[in-house]
Amino acid sequence: MTGDWIDVGALVEIPLRGARTIKAANGEEIAIFRTAGNRLYALVNRCPHKQGHLSQGIVHGDAVTCPLHNWRISLSTGEALGEDEGCVPTIPVRADAGRILISRIAMLATLAA
Amino acid sequence: MDFQGTGIGAENRDDAPDTVGTQRLVVIGNGMAGCRAVEEILARDPGRFRITIFGAEPHVNYNRIMLSPVLAGEKSFDEIVINDAAWYADNGIELVAGDPVAAIDRAARTVTANSGRTVGYDRLLIATGSDPFIIPVPGKDLPGVISFRDMKDVDAMLAAADRGGDAVVIGGGLLGLEAAHGLSLRGMKVTVLHLMPTLMERQLDEAAGWLLKTELERRGQTILTGADTAAIVGDGKVEGVALKDGSTIPASLVVMAVGIRPSTALARAAGLAVGRGIQVDDHMVTSDPAILAVGECVEHDGQVYGLVAPLWEMCRALADGLVAEPSGYRGSVTSTKLKVSGIDVFSAGDFSGGDGAEDIVLRDAARGIYKRVVLREDKVVGAVLYGDTADGSWYFDLLRKGDDVSSIRDLIIFGQAFAQGGGQADPKAAVAALSDDAEICGCNGVSKGKVVASIQAGACSLDAVRATCKASASCGSCTGLVENLLALALGDAVESGPKTICKCSSFTHDDVRREIVAQELRSIPEVMQKLHWTTPDGCSSCRPALNYYLLCAWPGAYVDDQQSRFVNERLHANIQKDGTYSVVPRMWGGLTNPRELRAIADVVEKYDAPMVKVTGGQRLDIFGIRKEDLPAVWADLNAAGMVSGHAYGKALRTVKTCVGSEWCRFGTQDSTGLGVKAEKMSWGSWMPHKFKIAVSGCPRNCAEATIKDFGVICVDSGYELHVGGNGGIKLRGTDLLCKVATEQQALDHIAAFIQLYREEAWYLERTAPWIERVGIDHVRRRIVEDAVGREALTARFLFSQSFSQDDPWAARAAGKDREQHAHLGEFRPLEILAAEGAR
């Protein structure tokens, strides 16, 4: 059904092992990651530790290392990896015909929470 | 007889054998799926249908996936025919070849071909396959631009190859590479253009893609990745391909092989449900119960397939549902092999990692092998093999069966022979079972007996073994074996070696640095392959280190990898705790002037920077700049003549000075002037860690030079040079390096020292711990006592600087990578809520 997925940009705008952000009107940001394996993930752009911008971390495998204090966050679950504990909300995202589509319902739910 | 089109073996339905039933089956598509479906139906009930097959091509049924060997000259067309004319005749099938179907009338249950011929059906099977995707660029219709899909395309390529010249293949996927291989074998000079950063990215991961590119280049093809086609140029016929980066590649033939899409126009026009393909249920029935569809034209459970194996499974389900006990198609897991002779590539399943995925990676540099098996919950979910694909079918079998592999996990990467080798499941037991003359280290020809002897003689660590018998001292691929021998011989008495660069590697920083130079490794994937990295793309520890080591080893030649840099170096500003950035322009030697001060003041006002602060290194730091404003801030500062202060980088930061002899009543030399000169010489250089210099005009040391990485204390008779100071976590005063007489000598020593540090220190190791590790005597020997060596170090530093002294702000402000700073999109929840009304 149209409308459930929002087109937020072209896939090629995110480099492999890179991330770009979506700005939401309430000041929150969503980070969309593209891994070396060409998987897409979307997370709220805040590390569960000290709110570091995860979009600016180094992506390796299916994890990102937060640029503030090197917490490693799983891109698929949003959970902190290793010794650390915490979790950041994830949002369904997919690519279709070279476009990045993000779940509208999940965005609304995440941003309202 | 009722021959139509170029039909062969055509049987009029009235003349059909008596055994053939009364139901009429019409098949649209004489390709691999259509004919296989008919074969499956005939195998179950040869008498059920009277069959008519329409084909667009003027051929009998042939094996389309063997077009590559035909192009490469390894097979003839006759050899790839699946069903010859006799098959059609023997089974009472009417083939209408070279006359494509133009329309389906579902109400009347008829199909009409281009020739106007109309045939009625009881059941219709659509097997129209897929069409090559043609990228909509100017010039796509020029003569000489073709796809790689059928025999006609192959004939066109062979004709072009006979004339010789340059060919461009657009698309570095399976099909494109096979086309390139064929044309290359036929003597054409081939360039492959691929939009993505690595070849065959849908089938191979980055590491395997890199190996493939290296091998194809070795065979003489030119492979351009990240190449975006702007237009195909030519006057009346194709003459070249223009890329978006402005370059043009000459070509007398352009093969477009960027992908295929399901051929659905007929089905769509007939009003069938069509998504990405013609939608079918588990029995391959479309939204019209009288019409079935099979092959690349269909969409099943949201999936479309472009490989041949799923076709066979679909055809079985179709025939079962149509004439036997319905079995139901459940979707396919696919595997791929590249049909390029001498290059063994295999991939299957999902190797992109993801939730709970575990990678087992084996890289054997000496044999050019890369293997990666992806496990999830102790089951194989994907595999990528390069160089040795013998176990591909075994992995694929494990994958399809979903077997629990936890019992063979440790050995699975070595393949079926090892993993199912009975009592050898324990790697230590496997090593123990080796005979004494078994070779452990192939590079140095060291046997198990020699390794054991050296361990028994007292070598209690990997490093000691390497030093005494040379095993594992070269390429390192036998490191695991040696470690197992150590564990066998010594049990818990094994000494752990020096720290490895990270968990992805068994190599230390020093090993990696040495091997990059010795083996002339030129890129991150190459290092990971040659040094047996155990992860597909490293981690946040090793990637920045490798990026630096390569940059240091190959100045001017190595292409920096942005995705392997910490954010500060990627965005050329300092990330702060709230996610904003701070910006520090360079103030040479701590000097400034009204124009620079005004520019800074203007930036502070214009971008609402909440704070400006004088740094410890005598500069002004502008805080609270939003990421998206950074390019504009730099542009404004650049306009006033200021450049990046690299306050964010593992690089030269500040050169702190006092006012020296020009103003100070105690000053002995021009410390400010020397500071400016030192900074102008060394700015822009990437280092293992941040690097600070200070120049004090007299021993009162107002610039605090004795806690800097390099400190100069000016005295009456010249310059005292101090090194290895640190005001950081662990306070360390400098060591005196030497004393020199002239300013130029001081600068030469600074350059030599920086270069020695750049070449020897581990990444993220500042000068203080480095000097404590190697000893100040080592540094003095290299720089003070060895004048020739010092001059060489200075020369290497200045050579490297000739490539690195450009302002990163200017490049970004001018638009390069500027989009990195912008948001991808915007999401306005309030507007969407308003639009929904009810909420």
Q: Domain containing B88: what range?
A: 6-130+262-323
Task: Say how far apart CA B797 and CA B800 lie, in whole Å.
Answer: 5
Residue A100 CA to residue B762 CA, distance in Å, equals 40
| Per-chain mean pLDDT for chain B | 88
In three-state secondary structure terms, B414 is helix
Distance from CA of A101 to the nearest CA of B (A): 11
User: Which chain A residues contact residue B582 at CB under 8 A?
Assistant: none
Answer whether B525 touches A (CB < 8 Å): no
H helix or E strand, kind and range, residue B339: none
Backbone angles phi, psi at B722, to 5 degrees: -120, 145
Q: Report the C-alpha gap between B736 and B744 in whole angstroms.
A: 18
**Any chain B CB within 8 A of the CB of A103?**
no
CA atoms within a 13 Å half-sphere pointing along the CA-CB vector of A88: 32
CATH number at residue B665: 3.30.413.10
Alpha carbons B202 and B178: distance in angstroms, whole number: 15
What residues of chain B lie within 8 A of the CB of A107, using their CB?
A: 827, 829
- pLDDT, position B17: 45
Q: Are residues B269 and B252 in the same domain?
A: no
Q: Could you tell me if B252 and B289 lie in one domain?
A: no
Residue in A with minimal Cα distance to B821: A20
Q: pLDDT band for B421, please (50, 70, 90 cuts).
A: low
pLDDT score for B20? 55
Note whether A16 contacts B206, CB cutoff 8 Å: yes
**Contact A58/B564, CB-based, under 8 Å?**
yes
Same domain as B161, residue B247: yes
Q: Helix, strand or coil for residue A58?
A: strand
Check whether B244 has a pLDDT greater than 50.
yes
| Cα–Cα distance for residue pair B185/B69, rounded to 1 Å | 11
Q: What distance, in Å, lies between the first and last C-alpha atoms of chain A?
A: 25
Q: Answer whether B566 sits within 8 Å of A100, measured CB to CB.
A: no
> How many angstroms away from the CA of A102 is the closest CA of chain B?
10
**CATH number of domain containing B446:** 1.10.10.1100
Q: pLDDT-based confidence at B188, cuts 50/70/90?
A: very high
- Token pair for residue B524? 């991150």
Whether residue B332 lies inside any domain: the answer is no
Q: Which of B107-111, B300-304, B354-358, B374-378 bottoms out in mean pLDDT, i.e. has the lowest?
A: B354-358
Q: Which residue has the higher pLDDT, B245 or B787?
A: B787
Looking at B9-13, B205-209, B315-319, which range is the least confident one? B9-13
Instruction: Report the C-alpha gap between B54 and B658 in whole angstroms.
Output: 90
Q: Is residue B238 domain-resident?
A: yes
Which of B323, B351, B376 is at the close of a domain? B323
Closest Cα partner for B50 from B83, B91, B90, B79?
B91
pLDDT tens digits, residue range B355-390? 678 888 888 877 788 999 999 989 999 999 998 888
Query: Which residues of B participate in the annotated binding site?
Result: 658, 664, 698, 702
Residue B531 distance to chain A (closest CA, Å): 18
pLDDT of residue B445: 72
Sheet bearing B620-625, strands edge to edge: B574-575, B581-583, B620-625, B611-614
For residue B1, the model assigns a pLDDT of 33
> By the 8 A CB rule, do B724 and B710 touch?
no
Mutate to test the interface with B, among A1, A23, A70 (most CBs of B within 10 A): A23
B376 assigned to some structural domain: no
Residue B67 in domain = yes
Give dist(CA B518, CA B759) in Å, integer. 14
Residues B151 and B210 in one domain: yes
Q: Indicate the residue of A12, A25, A51 with minimum beta-carbon distance to B828.
A: A25
In a domain, B638, yes or no: no
Does B179 reside within a domain? yes
B136 touches chain A (CB under 8 A): no
Q: Does B577 touch chain A (CB under 8 A)?
A: yes
Nearest to A61 among B537, B565, B828 (CB): B537
Residue ranges at the known binding site of B for [4Fe-4S] cluster = 658, 664, 698, 702
Which residues does B771 contact at the CB level (< 8 Å), separation at least 6?
B723, B724, B735, B779
Compute CA B699 distance to the chain's CA centroid, rounded to the nearest angstrom: 54
Question: Integer distance in angstroms from the first to the last C-alpha of chain B?
Answer: 71
The pLDDT of residue B419 is above 80: no
Q: Are A25 and B826 an interchain contact pair (Cβ–Cβ within 8 Å)?
A: yes
pLDDT higher than 50, residue B710: yes
What's the gap in Å between the CA of A18 and the closest CA on chain B?
6
How far is Cα B183 from Cα B166, in angstroms, rounded to an integer? 10
Same domain, B698 and B679: yes
Considering the domain architecture, whether residues B655 and B796 belong to the same structural domain is answered as: yes
Question: Are B461 and B478 in the same domain?
Answer: yes
Which residue in chain B has the smallest CA separation from A67? B567
Residue B380 lies in a domain: no
Reduce the secondary structure of B466-497 to three states and give it as a string: HHHHCCCCCCCCCHHHHHHHHHHHHHHHCECC
* Alpha-carbon span B239 to B142, nearest angstrom: 9
| Number of residues assigned to chain A | 113
Question: Smallest CA–CA separation between B304 and chain A, in Å?
Answer: 13
B663 and B784 co-located in one domain: yes
Does residue B163 sit at the A interface (CB-CB below 8 Å)? no
| B703 against B8, higher pLDDT | B703
CB contacts, 8 Å: A68 with chain B: 575, 577
Same domain, B266 and B230: no
CA distance B708 to B726: 5
pLDDT score, position B434: 76
Q: How many domains does chain B have?
A: 4
B253 and B310, same domain (yes or no): no
Please report the domains of chain A, with CATH numbers, ordered by start residue.
Answer: 5-112 (2.102.10.10)
CB contact under 8 A, A30 and B205: no
- The candidate with the shortest Cα–Cα distance to B382, out of B414, B354, B410, B340, is B354
Q: Can you tell me the mean pLDDT for B445-462?
A: 85
pLDDT reported for residue B4: 40
What is each CA distance from B101 to A65, B36, B37, B260, in whole angstroms? Answer: 56, 19, 18, 20
Winning range, highest mean pLDDT, from A59-63, B463-467, B814-818, B824-828: A59-63
| CATH code of the domain containing B208 | 3.50.50.60
* Spatial contact of B440 and B448, defined as CB atoms under 8 Å apart: yes
DSSP letter, residue B290 = T
Residues of chain A with Cβ-Cβ distance to B830 below 8 Å are 25-26
Residue B544: closest C-alpha in chain A: A58
- B582 in contact with chain A, both atoms CB, cutoff 8 A: no
Residue B518: band (very low, low, confident or very high) from pLDDT cuts 50, 70, 90: very high
Q: Which of B308, B323, B338 is the last residue of a domain?
A: B323
Asked if B365 and B531 count as a contact pair (C-beta separation under 8 A), the reply is yes
Residue B245 confidence (pLDDT) above 90: no
CB B69 within 8 A of CB B330: no
Q: Is the pLDDT of residue B762 over 80?
A: yes
Q: Are A46 and A52 in contact (CB under 8 A)?
A: yes
**Are B254 and B266 within one domain?**
no
pTM over cut 0.80: no
**Interchain CB distance below 8 Å, A61 and B535:** yes
The CA–CA distances, whole Å, from B93 to B2, B20, B187, B284 equal 13, 10, 42, 22
Same-domain status, B251 and B267? no
Which one of B304, B576, B827, B833 would you mutate to disrupt binding with A, by most A Cβ within 10 Å of its Cβ? Answer: B827
Q: Does B588 touch chain A (CB under 8 A)?
A: no
Is B644 within a domain?
A: no
On whether any CB of chain A is under 8 Å from the CB of B832, the answer is yes
Whether B543 sits inside 8 A of A60 (CB atoms) is yes
Out of B296, B323, B350, a domain closes at B323
Return the number of other C-beta atoms located less than 10 Å from residue B341's C-beta: 12
Q: CA quadruple B610, B615, B618, B621: dihedral positive or negative?
A: negative
pLDDT of residue B426: 63
Query: Residue written as tokens 């319902």?
Result: A105
